[in-house]
């Protein structure tokens, strides 16, 4: 869902060995982390090993603020790169591969390094959910910060810890509208029974794949799934690392993806 590689048949394509690596959330005290890619052919099933020559055509780079992270090993000629956390902020990691015809293919990781400031709640956030079979909702909420580990079993490391995200907003709205909890219920008293039974989250918190019976599905060459917008715009990253502000508008909808 978060790959930026071209989808042309016959070209060499790449994916991260761990799907969680499309998004990385850490803090200013975080340790070094490594990311590794693997290869596949778009028209063929499964993954395969990278050749030594292919690794020579790989280059890792960092967009935006280099004061956030830095490459400490494997920057070129390698399927793996290791990064050092330097400071608070966001950054984008790109692994770019040069095809035999000199065109390029890339995969991207979005990195968030959180600081010490905590936003416990964002106010007056409009949340709209438009499903296929799911009945949907549209209302305004004060969205509190909570830990996804309190909602689901799992690690959920790729979720903002210090401010409510677009993922927090959809889960909170769904539980409010489909259970005994109300907006007056303290967030620490939520049992999350409805969300736990009816929502599936993958990629260490980065991606919602199911709400009730509306679940990821491929029909022919078309992939259908849950997508989101904030203030009508596509942030281009996981909802779990898209911070919200007061008076934001969040739309979640189930539709075919446009590659």
Residues 6+ apart with CB under 8 A from 186: none
Q: Give percent above pLDDT 90 in the chain.
A: 76
Phi, psi of 144 (to 5 degrees): -85, 160
Strands 121-130 and 80-85: unpaired
**Residue 1 pLDDT > 50, yes or no?**
no
- As for how many domains the chain has, the answer is 2
- Which pair of tokens denotes residue 121? 């709640």
Q: How many CA atoms lie within 13 A of 24 on its CB side?
A: 28
245 and 160 in one domain? Answer: yes
Residue 5 counted as domain residue: no
Residue 184 counted as domain residue: yes
- In this prediction the pTM is 0.90
H or E segment at 56? helix 52-56
Residue 170 counted as domain residue: yes
Last residue of a domain, one of 114, 129, 144: 114
Last residue of a domain, one of 114, 129, 152: 114
54 and 163 in one domain? Answer: no
- Domain limits for position 189: 121-256
**Residue 3 pLDDT > 50, yes or no?**
no
Last residue of a domain, one of 82, 114, 146: 114
176 and 139 in one domain? Answer: yes
Decide: residue 69, CB within 10 A, 0-12 exposed, 13-18 middle, 19+ buried.
buried
User: What's the whole-number average pLDDT of the chain?
Assistant: 91
According to DSSP H, which parts of 116-229 are helical? 166-178, 193-198
- Per-residue CA distances from 46 to 32, 219, 221 (Å): 30, 19, 17
């Amino acid at each position: 869902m978060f790959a930026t590689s071209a989808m042309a048949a016959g070209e060499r394509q790449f994916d991260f060995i761990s799907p969680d690596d499309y998004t990385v959330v850490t803090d200013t005290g975080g340790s070094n982390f490594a990311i590794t890619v693997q290869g596949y052919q778009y028209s063929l099933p499964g993954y395969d090993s990278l050749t030594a020559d292919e690794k020579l055509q790989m280059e890792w780079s960092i967009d935006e603020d280099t004061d956030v992270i830095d490459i400490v090993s494997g920057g070129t000629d390698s399927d793996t790169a290791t990064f050092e956390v330097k400071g608070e902020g966001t950054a984008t990691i790109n692994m770019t591969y040069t095809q035999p015809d000199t065109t390029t293919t890339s995969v991207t990781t979005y990195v968030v390094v959180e600081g010490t400031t905590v936003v416990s709640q964002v106010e007056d956030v409009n949340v709209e959910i438009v499903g296929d079979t799911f009945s949907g909702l549209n209302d305004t909420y004060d969205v509190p910060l909570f830990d996804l580990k309190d909602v689901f079993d799992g690690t959920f490391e790729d979720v903002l810890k210090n401010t409510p995200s677009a993922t927090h907003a959809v889960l909170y709205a769904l539980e409010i509208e489909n259970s005994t909890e109300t907006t007056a219920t303290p967030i620490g008293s939520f049992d999350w029974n409805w969300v736990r039974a009816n929502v599936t989250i993958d990629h260490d918190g980065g991606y919602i794949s199911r709400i009730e019976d509306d679940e990821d599905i491929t029909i022919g060459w078309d992939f259908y799934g849950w997508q989101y917008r904030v203030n009508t715009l596509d942030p281009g990253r996981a909802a779990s690392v898209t911070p919200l502000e007061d008076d934001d508008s969040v739309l979640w909808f189930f539709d075919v993806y446009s590659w």
